[in-house]
Amino acid sequence: MQASSSVSSEDNPYHPVLLPLYTHFSSILYSICSPFTHDPYELIYISAARWPGFVQPVLDDHRLKVDLRRQQREASGMDVEDHDLEFKLAPPLEDTRIRLTRLFTPSLTAALEALYPRLTNASSWADENKPELDLLALPATRVSPMKSNSSQDAVTADILPRMSKFILVAAFLASTNPAKMDLRMFGRGLDESKKKRRKGGSPRKGSGKNVVAKVGTPTRRP
């Protein structure tokens, strides 16, 4: 019980030692949300929904190490005390941070799509999208950053990112344009080059003869 109390004291997603990881997480979150909002309150709201799940694998991994050390000490007949558990919570290594980024980046987009228009609230979204237990200990083929939920997966699979929706609507509207309008809009560069060529091009045929005819040849005075 003493060991579990030691773990619980560090089983906190907002532990100060995790600040470097939170800084990295915030930069990723901003890069995804900045095309749609710069409001710090909106960014904090989305962060509050996704950060606990993002850092949960790190906390789970720490708990597994502490439990393993406790079991080893119990098996050897040694006393298990809090100060003997040398595994202190620490920011993850670079490879773990890259793996977390790769796993959770799609879920950040999903959080933006659901929370920015307030289709749900941050607390409910976080509960519905908790990562699998001991995510970092699972084989790569079984890793999923969110709980398996067939009904939810079916819904989220049909949801396009916001930018993709704009592109889809624009493509539909453009498909109704007549061919002449498309040529005028998208072939504008070609038309302008032709006009410039006509304005600043070489003289038309026969223009030299006309000039000579008008000027004429000099005449001698008697």
Percent pLDDT > 90 in the chain is 37
Listed range (3-7, 61-65, 99-103) with the worst mean pLDDT: 3-7
CB hemisphere CA count around 95 (13 angstroms): 1
Q: How confident is the model at residue 190 (pLDDT cuts 50, 70, 90)?
A: low
Q: What are 141-152's pLDDT values in tens digits? A: 555 555 544 334
Q: At residue 108, does pLDDT exceed 80?
A: yes
pTM across the whole model? 0.59
Task: Enumerate residues 6+ apart whose C-beta is below 8 A from 25.
Answer: 47, 51, 54, 55
Between residues 90 and 142, the one the model is more confident about: 90
* Burial of 107: CB neighbours in 10 Å, binned 0-12, 13-18, 19+: buried
Q: At residue 196, does pLDDT exceed 90?
A: no
What is the spatial distance between Cα 138 and Cα 132, in angstroms, rounded to a whole number?
Answer: 9
Structure tokens at 97: 């941070």
